[in-house]
Structure 1
Amino acid sequence: MSGTSEGSTPAAGLDRSAVTERDSHAATCAESLEGADPPAYRSVFTAAPLAMAVVDREGQVVDANQALGELLGGDGASLVGRVAADLLDLASDARTWHAYREVLRGRQAKLRCTRRLKHPDGRALWAQVTVTPLDEGGPGVLLSVADVSDRRDLQARLRHLQMHDPVTRLPNRTLFFERVSAALEAESYEQSGTGRIGLCYLDLDGFKAVNDTLGHRVGDRLLATVAERLTECAKEAGQNRPSEPLVARLGGDEFALLVEDSTGTEQLADLAESVLKALQAPFDLAGQRMNVSASIGVVERHAAGTTATALMQAADTTLYWAKVDGKDRWTLFDPERNAHLMTSQALASTLRPAIERGEFRLEYQPLVGMSDGRLRGVEALVRWDHPRFGSLPPNRFVALAEEDGSIVPLGRWILATACRQARAWQLDRPDEPPLFVSVNVAVRQVWDSDLVADVAEILAETGLPPHLLQLELTESAVMGSAGRPLQALQALSDMGVHIAIDDFGTGYSNLAYLSRLPVSVLKLDGSFVRGFQYEGTGAAPNPADEVVVEAMIDLAHRLGLTVTAECVETAAQANRLRSIGCDTGQGWLYSRAVSPDRISELRAAGPDRAAPVGAPQNP
């Protein structure tokens, strides 16, 4: 490559008059240099171990010492008259070339750059080039060149150590993120390729047990062997493609395979399948034969608009899904599932403030007597009027509230609001049998608060008789109760509060234990009721469900308990439940969950209106 001065042609293309002018100028520069104590100048310049040359303002070498000649594979005299930019590759990039010309013109004080040069013997060397002006008004610039190949090699080795994992010798997290960032840059996908990027992010299932039982040395050998198998998978995946996936160890037992210019989710799915298959073969380590599986999160998308952080967040989330879904599998990133997760996180972070802001309200679903169709009670169901997501049912946030403990203040508010409303209904129609209110209680409310004291205080404040309050707990929670929870349930029962087991038939179903619990009501899970005959569907009833329901109702009655059937949707179901002795029912046949005013209307209407038969409605 030739270096050029602004407004001139490369030296190799100069005409005869230009060469004559150049030689004349070079001679003048030489005379000027030799006029300033020539013996001292020549002695220092020639003997200096640093490779140097004097370059005129046109970029031509006026003088060069022997060290520079040897560095470039010749002698100093042979370099005189050559274009310095050509010798040292100073014109190979625009920035360096511009800076070099500015120094030649006296507009810039100094230039220092590193160039990769090719020696005539074929070897490559790295040279640090420094260009500085001579004395003001002097003939040109002084160019010095230092061979920094050894330093560069050392730096390269150090960087390799810094960027690679010592156990597996794979690229480490730092190098992996460098490659991801480079792949996501606009230049990487605008010039060529598919413009897509894929990632398989995996960790080993149960690796901690290997370290704990067999020691870290065996664990490291296992990681190294896993790395070898992953590398083989990458090589196979890279056949007949421009490049093979990058395999990296991100830390611990976490690995990643980066696919640049991916062709779609099918390619990533095939890679994930090959990884799982490669890890299925047993590992023989230090006389130990073991089997290892992995969970893999797979992400594949357009590179445009994606960041390394977003890509890794998606991969980490998907890896978590693979773990939750059962391990030893790969899971593809699902935007809808991720959006639901993000919504859940947003809800969890605003639960407590929402309680303080009063964003919750209660609706009530009727509990109807099966024998006469009269409204006997209601179940209080909480709704969250979220300012962003609208009205949310309890299954969208109750589990989150249980996780972070906000179920305690929320549960206290629900209990107080429901009891206050039940008392209002009682006072509104004092001559009629009062309605009881059923409130769901989470086990954490029993553990993290004094539920007995809360109930007693709320009943005293609202004036609601204890027998008009029913507390519902899930079967698994009640059946597993011991110690404090069981004591609390007993104290509440002694107070006169009714205890109901919700979703009965889906948990432990420990009937012997049931007889010793302070329970007064069983609520049959809706899955049993759905097995009954549906009107107009032509579907036959499930005899097994009917036998089980009839047996549970008979057992409950023998234990002195009443039974409520959930999810009653058709008259046929209601008739069958009535015939086998079910006490109360709730479901779309009667009403969805409605406002307190609507409950008052249903109550005033009597049994004919309290049990309307119609199309199911969403709860």
Structure 2
Amino acid sequence: MRHLLSLLILCATAWVIGGIVGVTPASAIESVRVPVDSRAIDLTRSVERYNGQGDRIQISTAPGADGIVRRIEVGAKQAGTQPNWIVFALTNDSDEQLERLVVVPHFRLAGSGVIWPDLGTVRISAITASQGFAPESEESADADVFRLTLDPGATVTYVAELRSAILPQITLWEPDAYKDKLTSLTLFKGIVIGIAGLLALFLSIVFVVRGAIIFPAAAALAWAVLAYVCIDFGFWHKLFAAGGEADRVSRAVAEASLAATLLVFLFAYLNLNRWHVRYSHIAAGWLIFLAALVGFALYDAPVAAGIARIMLATVAAVGFILVIYLSTHGYDRAVMLIPTWFLLLVWVAAAGFTVMGSLTNDLVSPALMGGLVLIVMLIGFTIMQNAFAIGGMSHGVVSDAERKALALTGSGDIIFDWDVNADRIFVSPDVETQLGLRRGDLEGPAAGWFDRLHALDRDRYRACLDTVLEQRCGRIAQDFRLRSADGEYFSYAMKARPVVGQDGEVVRVVGTLADVTDIKAAEDRLLHDAVHDSLTGLPNRELFYDRLDAAMTMTRSSDRAAPTVFSLDVDRFKQINEQVGLSVGDSILLTIARRLGRLMRPQDTMARIGGDQFAFIIVSETDADQIMQLADTIRRAINTPITFSTYEISLTSSIGVAFYDTALHAKRDDILKDAEIAMTHAKRAGGDRIELYRPGMRAQRSDRLALEADLRRAIERNEIKVVFQPIVRLEDRTIAGFEALLRWEHPRLGTLSPADFIPLAEQTGLIVDLGLFAMDRTARELASWQQALDVSPPIYASVNVSSRQLLRHDLLGDVKSVLKRSGVLRNSLKLELTESLMMENPEYAAQMLHRIKDLGAGLSLDDFGTGYSSLSYLQRFPFDTIKIDQSFVRHNGKGSRPVILRSIVALAHDLGMEVVAEGAESESDVIELSQLGCEYAQGFAFGQPISAAEARKLVGATAEAA
């Protein structure tokens, strides 16, 4: 018992001391048996690894032949370091002393990894044996090699200090076997390096000779492969005495260069810049990235190598997809590259399995290097075959005849050869194929072509050939039309010249035929478009004038019937375009053209000479009544509604008619201008009518032009005045407000009512300036009235708004500006809009009215009942007042007012609107309107429109009465 206690105390003391000095115990390991005849034993899975043990490690040895387990302690070569350790044990069961080599390669491609790969380094610093001879380190540039000696029947435990945390492989080699392996691999490596070097040198020489861009790209790829193979086979650091970190950097640079040169070769070989400029941008950006990666390898070699390996696989995969895509589009270069690039893809896949550890055989890495050189060799063969196949004649000596034959083949023209003596024509089979003829149909005598030539081209064809034969010189440059088998004609341009024999006579006529059918069709189309309207296909103004000239000339030189000219304009077509859109408007014009075209006789002419303006030359009728009846037929044809999608559009037209008079119409413009003047009178009279030109219309037209010029200056000259018509409250006969009306004090014509100049202002666009003028003056007067008369509800004034004002987005700004400057009370300045104006574009009108209402202006619906508004739309408009048109206020023929008047008043009240009745001319009208429920009335019963000064006095009198 005492001995057992002493033993426990001794063990505990040893454990404590071991802890103090930093020595960590380790359990005994299993030994690996080493047979005498073994050539190599892989110890990678038989070693035990120890990390974080400090600079000393204490292990238990493998049990020897006597079964005793011993403990040994090993210290690091440098005190204070934290190396990694491996431990393995070897047993020699034989009676012989064995010598073996422990080999740990510096770099091993298998299992090196893709991301942050292991690029190689010195693995083992020293190996310590538990007994026997100490391991001896041997010189080797590619691996750590230690020679071990195993005594007969001995079991030796070895502790190896590692310089790297990664141990790719450790192998126990028989010395002669290892030497044989190195010898055999050295021979293989030398052959591969020699082939790679010769290939790179050859491609470089070919580049110097040929100069095509594909050769330097291939040469660069070959040099990159050569450098990569030299580094992998260990030839690089033998040549330059490099090692350690330089070897890792050079390996990373080589892998990045391999990916970059492969990308350059792919871009150059496929000539990607000719397919799409985007390919050039992508390739350039990719190449810049790879070039930067080469520089980054100097900073962090493992990261750069990992990215390079990913880029190499990406270039191979993307390149294969691109090669297949271009091959399907008929690019011969891509077709030739498919086998080689497929092998490259297989090589990349095998390399990927290798670096990820799926393939670990020692022969895999040399085989991959040899395969890479083989692929580059195939690439070299491919580009040589392609370059010399397509460029055999480009750099050789070409005769003048061959050069002309090549040029003729490249032009695609058809050969024409007429043997004059044999009277036989030869043409290329292409023309017969195009015409759908049998081979040889166009070969034979020159006269045999007459049946195939267009009737109008036969004389020209005969004259050209005859002239060449007679003159014995010259050139033929003519266009002919040949009929195909299905009757269609194709146009050909013939260029030929005679060949004179020794006797001075023409023996052959040789040249080419070029298909110019498309060119002729384009020329005909341009000629047609030059004199026809592109939308309707009708003659345009130029062709109209040409035919009018011809008709007038025929009338002057013979007794032919005099022409009559119609000028037709579609009424309100601009508003229709704004409502339904330009595309629908074009469809309407096309429908009109087709309708009217069916009414024309062959000798008559219909033309489109403007947007919605048409003109007609009538020569088929001479009787005036028949001509006017034709004009009415045209008018009624346009009146027929046009249905388009959900629209049913009713149209009207204004037509002017002018008969040709040799005394009045010396020029073609004169008769058309007369028809247009008549058309303008028809339009001014309300449209949907026909006007016959009368000489007095020219004077009226001149007056209108002068009136338009005066109107443009009327506002500046202060000739436009605003007058006010009182609006009376029927309940107490007090002034509720005024309607602002415009008068023009013309210096020559006197006072003009709105009916005399408002339509002209609408047509010329001056209505916008007049409307703003009226709104501003009315707002100023209203502000002064409201200051003088403090009553409730406040006095108001209304101003008419035209369609041009409503369609302008500036109307909102004008109203806002006027309200802000004048300071009138909210809703006291009312804008009057007609019912028909609202329904031209109800959606837009509703939106605009709501925005005007929000600004603080009142809204009044004028001439209610005379339009075609829908009650559903009427509810959406924010009007506060309805003005009943005077046609409903006046007595009908039976002496009573229309029954609908009462309904209109009731409807307005149901909608929450006040009612103003227009046209109250007598006291009885006023009484009856009051009984019907109308709140307000205006008319001659309360006086004529008065000036601003008189209105001011009237408001003042009302204020005193109040």
TM-score, length-scaled by structure 1:
0.51
Question: Match of 2:800?
Answer: 440
Between the aligned partners of 2:731 and 2:797, the Cα distance in structure 1 is 20
Return the match for 2:780 from 409, 413, 420: 420
Number of the residue aligned with 1:332: 692
- CA shift, 1:599, in A, is 1.8
TM-fit CA distance, 1:337 = 6.0
Query: Map of 1:127-206 to 2, 5 A cutoff?
Result: 172-177=547-552, 200-202=564-566
The question of 1:491 aligning with 2:851 is answered yes
Once the two structures are TM-superposed, the CA of residue 515 in structure 1 deviates from its matched residue by 2.3
* Maintained 8 Å contact 2:883/2:915: yes
Q: Give CA deviations for 1:286-327 in whole Å, capped at 9, x if unaligned.
A: xxxxxxxx9974446997777655554223332566789999
Show the 5 A alignment for 1:437-586.
437-479=797-839, 482=842, 485-531=845-891, 540-542=894-896, 545=898, 547-586=899-938
Report the equivalent of 2:757: 397
Counterpart in the other structure of 2:769 = 409
Q: Contact (CA 8 Å) 1:500, 1:522: kept in 2 or not?
A: yes
**Cα distance 1:464–1:174, how it changes in 2: closer, same or farther (>3 A)?**
same
Q: Which amino acid aligns with 1:226?
A: R
**Conservation of the 8 A alpha-carbon contact between 1:296 and 1:330:** yes
Residue 541 of structure 1 deviates from its aligned partner by 2.6
> How many angstroms does 1:352 deviate by?
3.9
491 and 296 in structure 1: CA distance in 2 versus 1, 3 angstrom threshold = closer
Distance change in 2, residues 1:273/1:577 (3 Å): same
Change (3 A) 1:432 1:254: closer
How has the CA–CA distance of structure 1 residues 297 and 429 changed in structure 2, closer, same or farther, with 3 Å as cutoff? closer
**How has the CA–CA distance of structure 1 residues 363 and 199 changed in structure 2, closer, same or farther, with 3 Å as cutoff?**
farther
Contact 1:478 1:501 in 2 (8 A): no
Deviation at 1:433, TM superposition (A): 6.7
Whole-angstrom distance in 1 between the partners of 2:826 and 2:746: 32
C-alpha distance after superposition, 1:394-416 (max 9, x if no partner): 23333333344333332222111
Do 1:205 and 1:328's aligned partners in 2 also have CA atoms closer than 8 Å?
no
**CA–CA distance in structure 2, aligned partners of residues 170 and 453 of structure 1:** 47
| Cα distance change of structure 1 residues 566 and 213 upon mapping to structure 2, 3 Å threshold | closer
Report the Cα distance in structure 2 between the residues aligned to 1:457 and 1:407, rounded to whole angstroms: 18
CA distance in 1, matches of 2:806, 2:717: 25
Distance 1:443 1:215 in 2: 29
**In terms of mean alpha carbon deviation, does 340-349 or 370-379 score higher?**
340-349
Q: How big is each residue's C-alpha offset from its partner over 1:66-98, in whole Å with a ceiling of 9 and x where there is no partner?
A: xxxxxxxxxxxxxxxxxxxxxxxxxxxxxxxxx
Aligned counterparts of 2:838 and 2:814: Cα–Cα separation in 1: 19
Mapped contact 1:366–1:590 kept (Cα < 8 A): yes
Over the aligned positions, Cα root-mean-square deviation in angstroms equals: 5.0
Distance 1:376 1:505, change over 3 A: same
Q: 1:254 Cα deviation (Å)?
A: 4.6
Q: Which has the higher contact order (CA 8 A, sep 6+)?
A: 1
Q: 1:380 aligns with which of 722, 740, 743?
A: 740
Deviations 1:543-587 (A, max 9, x none): 5x1x21111111211222100011111222222111111111111
Once the two structures are TM-superposed, the CA of residue 454 in structure 1 deviates from its matched residue by 2.3
Partner of 2:950: 598
Return the alpha-carbon distance in structure 1 between the equivalents of residues 829 and 593 of structure 2.
58
Label 1:514 to 1:328 Cα distance change in 2 as closer, same or farther (>3 A). Answer: closer
- Number of corresponding residues: 385
Contact 1:173 1:249 (8 Å CA) reproduced: no
Question: 1:170/1:562 Cα in 2 relative to 1: closer, same or farther (>3 Å)?
Answer: closer
Decide whether the 8 Å contact of 1:370 with 1:583 is kept in 2: yes
Q: Which runs of 5+ in 2 are unaligned?
A: 1-538, 571-585, 638-652
2:627 paired with 1:272: yes
Aligned counterparts of 1:417 and 1:436: Cα–Cα separation in 2: 14
Question: How many Å apart are 1:525 and its aligned residue?
Answer: 0.8
Note closer, same or farther for the CA distance 1:279–1:374 as it changes in structure 2 (3 Å cut).
closer
* Residue 371 of structure 1: how far off its partner (Å): 2.1
Tell me: CA distance 1:250–1:177, structure 2 relative to 1, closer, same or farther (3 Å): farther
Deviations 1:20-42 (A, max 9, x none): xxxxxxxxxxxxxxxxxxxxxxx
User: Residue 198 of structure 1 contacts residue 298 of structure 1 at CA under 8 Å; is this kept in 2?
Assistant: no
C-alpha displacement of 1:360: 1.4
**What is the Cα deviation at residue 276 of structure 1?**
6.3
- 1:454-473 C-alpha deviation (Å, 9 max, x unpaired): 22322222222123211111
Identify unmatched segments of 5+ residues in structure 1.
1-166, 184-196, 231-247, 260-266, 283-293, 533-538, 610-619
Q: Return the alpha-carbon distance in structure 1 between the equivalents of residues 544 and 770 of structure 2.
A: 53
Give the TM-score normalised by the residue count of structure 2.
0.34
Shift of 1:212: 5.8
Closer/same/farther in 2, CA of residues 321 and 368 from structure 1, 3 Å limit: same
Partner Cα distance (1:580, 1:336) in 2: 50
Q: Distance in 2 between matches of 1:175 and 1:251?
A: 18
Which runs of structure 2 are paired with 1:297-312 in the superposition (5 Å)? Answer: 297-299=656-658, 308=667, 310-312=670-672
Distance 1:412 1:513 in 2: 27
Give deviations 1:341-400, integer Å, cap 9, x for gaps. Answer: 554444445544433343311011110112222111000111223344332222333333
* 1:199–1:382 CA distance, 2 compared to 1 (3 A): farther
SS of 1:384's equivalent?
strand
* Residue type at the aligned position of 1:554: A
Per-residue CA deviation, residues 36-74 of structure 1 (Å, 9 max, x unaligned), is xxxxxxxxxxxxxxxxxxxxxxxxxxxxxxxxxxxxxxx
Higher Cα Rg, which structure: 2
Shift of 1:593: 1.4
User: Could you report, residue by residue, the CA deviation over 1:435-455 in whole angstroms, capped at 9, with x for unpaired residues?
Assistant: 311111123323324333322
CA distance in 1, matches of 2:588, 2:828: 57
How far apart in 2 are the matches of 1:214 and 1:457? 45
* Compared CA separation, residues 447 and 509, structure 1 to 2 (3 A): closer
Cα 1:341–1:565, aligned 2, differ >3 Å: closer, same or farther? farther
**SS of the residue aligned with 1:356?**
coil
Cα distance change on mapping 1:258 and 1:507 into 2, 3 Å: same
Residue deviations 1:500-524, cap 9 Å, x none? 0000011123223222321100000
Q: 1:326 to 1:343 in 2, by over 3 A?
A: closer
Do the aligned residues in 2 keep the contact of 1:201 with 1:319 (CA within 8 Å)? no
Distance 1:322 1:417, change over 3 A: closer
Deviations 1:151-192 (A, max 9, x none): xxxxxxxxxxxxxxxx99999323445578x79xxxxxxxxx
Secondary structure of the residue that 1:410 maps to in structure 2?
A: helix
In 2, the alpha carbon distance for the partners of 1:603 and 1:328 equals 46
| One-letter code aligned to 2:734 | R
Contact kept in structure 2, 1:295 and 1:328, CA below 8 Å = yes
Instruction: State the distance in 1 between where 2:687 and 2:840 align.
Output: 28
**C-alpha separation between the residues in 2 aligned to 1:566 and 1:251?**
44
Write out aligned runs for 1:313-352 (5 A). 313-319=673-679, 331-334=691-694, 341-352=701-712
Residues 251 and 526 from structure 1, CA distance in 2 versus in 1: closer, same or farther, beyond 3 angstroms?
A: closer
CA distance in 2, matches of 1:210, 1:425: 52
Do residues 226 (structure 1) and 580 (structure 2) align? no
Q: Which letter maps to 2:929?
A: L
